[in-house]
Structure 1
Amino acid sequence: MSARILVVDDVPANVKLLEARLSAEYFDVMTAANGTEALAISRRAECDIILLDVMMPDMDGFEVCRRLKTDPATHHIPVVMVTALDSPADRNRGLEAGADDFLTKPVSDVVLIARVRSLTRLKMMTDELRMRAITSLEIGMQAPERSAIADTGKGGRILLVDDRQSSYERLATILAAEHTIDVEPNPTEALFHAAEGNYDLLIVSLDLNNFDGLRLCSQARSLERTRHVPILAIADPENSTRLLRGLEIGVNDYLLRPIDKTELLARARTQIRRRRYTDHLRDNVQNSIEMAITDALTGLHNRRYMESHLATLAEQAATRGKPLALMILDIDYFKSINDNYGHDAGDDVLREFAVRVRKSIRGIDLACRYGGEEFVIVMPETDLHVAGMVAERLRRSIAGEPFAIHKGAKRIEVTISIGLTTLERKGEAVADVLKRADTALYRAKHDGRNRVVSQAA
């Protein structure tokens, strides 16, 4: 899908010019004549990037940008200020307001399109993460927008790759006022250093001696450990063409020498804030995946995960000609624990039960909460005899030591019944194996509980 660009300018001729340039590159272009209109369009999530003029009648571009970047609904939309203002103070004011870039008119078509493409790629990647994280909000996880808005972008870990001593000493001194800085003057070691350092930002000089800085940027983008670390490139003015090439291969931002101190700090903060926000989104997605397959109370896998993963384990066992053992465990008289001591005590028992289960099985075994007080343990490459020994050890572990409830104020006796079977016939349905184990469990409970009953295939 083509990116949607919002052009905000109160001068119709400027709007028409930008619209023609962008449309020629197959972008969808929207326009707004003032800041109020731009804010309304942005809040409706109708654009992927905003090209924003500064000098406008109702509110200037600096104020529009500040409002965009402090609104949870719009803070993630890239903003590029395109203006006739050209002083360092204006540029820094725009960056401090949260702009992702500040381009001075007249803007080269090549520079404009390269910047727009770079930022829209980043926006679409962020949108995908945001979409995946919607489930996280639905299951009660905290949205990262508020923390992203409050983030100052300071306190980051930065790796500076520059082999000119006079240059890296000055840059490191500036950045050290807000961040932790490591300097790597040897570009051949830089990628290894970056991969091991857990950095929030890489700053790479493209004017390295006897080494192609763009190749280093490309390698950082292809390596798993550094793929998501933002890159800020620095080059001499005559190397602006290489900077544009850098944007195409994944460089996030750039600076031309001589470096303005305030601009360097502002651009570093912007990239670090964005890194933290996307990391938070990825963490939410990962946590939501884990929560979807994990029982919240016990920390064991849930029934949904067990049913899907058991089929895979059974197929592997059949293919390799290996046995697969399965046991269903039920906590004896669990209802009476809830009735006599309260549901909090029942939860205490379930949590401690899960702890003892983990201690009794191998890392390759699969332990799941099947429902209520029932649990399933699947043991790959385990025959009925060995599985029986494990089940008996687990039964003794539960019965041998009372369970603490009510924060340790009381201890109660708990026992379990276990039904055990194996999958040994190729092609047997896992539902049949579960049914056989459940039948064995029923026998264990019928025969007096606190025992293991095996049923062969």
Structure 2
Amino acid sequence: MPGRILIADPTATNRIILKVRLGAARYETIQASGGTEAMAEARAERPDLVILSAQLGDIGATDLCSRLKNDPLTRAIPVLIIGSDSNRADRLAGLRAGADDYLIKPVDEMTLLAIVRHLMRTRATYDEFARRRETNAALGFAEAGAGFDRPAKVALIAPSPETSLAWRRGLAPIGSFTLIGLTRSSALDTDTLGDAPDAFVIAADLHSPGDGLRLVSELRSHPATRYAVILIQNEADDIASVPLALDLGASAVVPGQFDGEEVQARLEALIARKRETDALRESLDQQLGLAVRDPLTGLFNRRYAEAYLTRIADEAARTGQPFAVMMLDLDRFKTVNDTFGHRVGDEVLIETARRLTDNLREIDLVARHGGEEFLVALPETGIAAARATAERLRRVIADMPMRSTSRAIDVPVTVSIGVSVCYGHDMATEMSVLIDQADTALYASKSEGRNLVTLSDQPAA
């Protein structure tokens, strides 16, 4: 299952309709008929997303959202509120209470699923950093001190200077941001931009329909703006543009005419979440340093990987989701060293690390386990997906020779892979056993001729 979603609505018909829509997209659903029940379910089940009706009855959706966001057990769960009318005051109250998005009925199915996908991705990224922070704590690394939060820098990219000025006037009286106006081209020119903006507010249609959306993917591909908040102002209220914008990497889409208070509420929530994940990312980098990083490849080392696997296993035990472990070993690597020298061997290891990292999800872990052996951990991954991922990694190593810049030669390399999958309902299996199973499968790949993927015939748990 892609994830679990809690649906809270007092009307059974509404819950059933949402369950059918989400079930068709392979989401698992939990249902609650009121706010009190929803709060209890959220604390007990820790779903990946909560969808609230704006009219809950016993507890208002705004109040429930605030409770969810202030409870340590549920604060990281994204919340989507669905209202029955376009009451601006209710929408603003929901967003200010911490709702990650707010939709008005009737809800377009493609828009709903796009928002669900987006919020699931956001949650997965946050959970990944949280797991790594817990791993660091288990390894004895101190938490980094809190930094000073300067006013967020928000760039406005509008169809015209007049519109940009109107947006600034709408935000300035109520906001605590540093506002700048940019054009499409200047937004991408980070050499002259100085510090990159924390957030962008971009018109969906700049000089031609949809060109604001194309800018989203360009900003996401640039290192300086990869993690920025990107808010799309969809003044044409084009339903079709919402899924596209979110799938391209927009943080949220604001429908209708520019509303300074709504944009302000959304920016405050999104920038707060960005700063939290930025702080986690920077804290991890500062804490880890060389202590748990392999100095040659920059990958995590064996010590960190095995501690991190314990965090993945704990999460799997809670959610019931499977996870996979791979052991990868470069074939005949000693021959590479003996034939071309250790410097070329080091280049092969560095390039292998890069290819593996580039072909895995952000939530996955790749580590150097020792010598020419690598470990990969795949949260929320069953047998079929693990096999497909292993085959993809095998091909990205084997299909293109490794380029040695020191010798100006191409070095053909292959990799053997062993895979073990663990199902989280029963975590009696020790991590060392799971790794041993993957290791045994790896050596089966070696003995069968190398450049192969083998799945363990003893699934864990």
Q: Does the pair score TM above 0.5?
A: yes
CA distance in 1 between counterparts of 2:5 and 2:239 reads: 24
CA distance in 2 between counterparts of 1:106 and 1:48 reads: 24
- 1:190 is aligned to 187
Alignment of structure 1 residues 92-103 onto 2, 5 Å: 92-103=92-103
- 2:450 is aligned to none
**Structure 1: which 5+ residue stretches go unaligned?**
295-303, 306-314, 322-457
* Per-residue deviation, 1:221: 1.2
Task: Tell me if structure 1 keeps the 8 A contact 2:233–2:254.
Answer: yes
Match for 2:161: what amino acid? Q
CA distance in 2 between counterparts of 1:226 and 1:142 reads: 26
| 3-state SS of 1:47 partner | coil
CA distance in 2 between counterparts of 1:230 and 1:45 reads: 29
Q: Greater CA deviation, 14-23 or 155-164?
A: 155-164
- 2:342 is aligned to 319
* Per-residue deviation, 1:159: 1.3
Task: Tell me if structure 2 keeps the 8 A contact 1:4–1:47.
Answer: yes
- 1:161 is aligned to 157
- Work out whether 1:263 is the aligned partner of 2:286: no
Task: Tell me if structure 1 keeps the 8 A contact 2:144–2:287.
Answer: no
- 1:414 is aligned to none
| 3-state SS of 1:225 partner | coil
- 2:42 is aligned to 42
Task: Tell me if structure 1 keeps the 8 A contact 2:96–2:265.
Answer: yes
- Work out whether 1:7 is the aligned partner of 2:7: yes
CA distance in 1 between counterparts of 2:58 and 2:237 reads: 39
Match for 2:132: what amino acid? R
Alignment of structure 1 residues 101-250 onto 2, 5 Å: 101-138=101-138, 139=140, 141-142=142-143, 155-176=151-172, 177-184=175-182, 186-193=183-190, 196-210=194-208, 212-250=211-249
Match for 1:282: what amino acid? R
Alignment RMSD (CA, Å): 3.4
CA distance in 2 between counterparts of 1:61 and 1:34 reads: 10
CA distance in 2 between counterparts of 1:261 and 1:27 reads: 35
* Per-residue deviation, 1:140: 5.4
Structure 1 ranges of 4+ moved more than 4 A:
315-318
| 3-state SS of 2:245 partner | helix
Task: Tell me if structure 2 keeps the 8 A contact 1:154–1:269.
Answer: no
Match for 1:157: what amino acid? K
TM-score normalised by structure 2 residue count: 0.59
Relative distance call for 1:320 and 1:282 in structure 2 (3 A) is: closer
Match for 2:177: what amino acid? H
* Per-residue deviation, 1:263: 0.6
CA distance in 1 between counterparts of 2:282 and 2:272 reads: 15
Aligned residues: 304
CA distance in 1 between counterparts of 2:243 and 2:135 reads: 37
Match for 2:142: what amino acid? M
Task: Tell me if structure 2 keeps the 8 A contact 1:201–1:229.
Answer: yes
Alignment of structure 1 residues 373-384 onto 2, 5 Å: none
* Per-residue deviation, 1:196: 4.3
- Percent identity between the two aligned chains: 31
Q: Greater CA deviation, 56-65 or 42-51?
A: 42-51
- 2:73 is aligned to 73
Match for 1:115: what amino acid? I
Relative distance call for 1:14 and 1:320 in structure 2 (3 A) is: closer
- 1:381 is aligned to none
Match for 1:283: what amino acid? E
Relative distance call for 1:212 and 1:56 in structure 2 (3 A) is: closer
* Per-residue deviation, 1:42: 2.3
| 3-state SS of 1:58 partner | coil
Match for 2:206: what amino acid? L
Question: What's the CA shift string for 1:226-246, capped at 9, x where partnerless?
Answer: 211121011222533223211
| 3-state SS of 2:239 partner | helix
* Per-residue deviation, 1:11: 1.4
Relative distance call for 1:142 and 1:32 in structure 2 (3 A) is: farther
| 3-state SS of 1:26 partner | coil
Match for 2:60: what amino acid? D
* Per-residue deviation, 1:289: 1.6
CA distance in 2 between counterparts of 1:88 and 1:16 reads: 27
Match for 2:240: what amino acid? T
CA distance in 2 between counterparts of 1:187 and 1:154 reads: 25
TM-score normalised by structure 1 residue count: 0.60
Question: What's the CA shift string for 1:337-370, capped at 9, x where partnerless?
Answer: xxxxxxxxxxxxxxxxxxxxxxxxxxxxxxxxxx
Task: Tell me if structure 1 keeps the 8 A contact 2:203–2:233.
Answer: yes
Match for 1:190: what amino acid? A
CA distance in 2 between counterparts of 1:55 and 1:212 reads: 37
| 3-state SS of 2:253 partner | strand
Relative distance call for 1:44 and 1:132 in structure 2 (3 A) is: farther
| 3-state SS of 1:275 partner | helix
Match for 2:121: what amino acid? R
Relative distance call for 1:154 and 1:266 in structure 2 (3 A) is: farther
- Work out whether 1:278 is the aligned partner of 2:277: yes
Task: Tell me if structure 1 keeps the 8 A contact 2:237–2:256.
Answer: no
| 3-state SS of 2:289 partner | helix
Task: Tell me if structure 1 keeps the 8 A contact 2:35–2:58.
Answer: yes
Task: Tell me if structure 1 keeps the 8 A contact 2:170–2:259.
Answer: no
Relative distance call for 1:158 and 1:45 in structure 2 (3 A) is: farther
Relative distance call for 1:126 and 1:103 in structure 2 (3 A) is: same
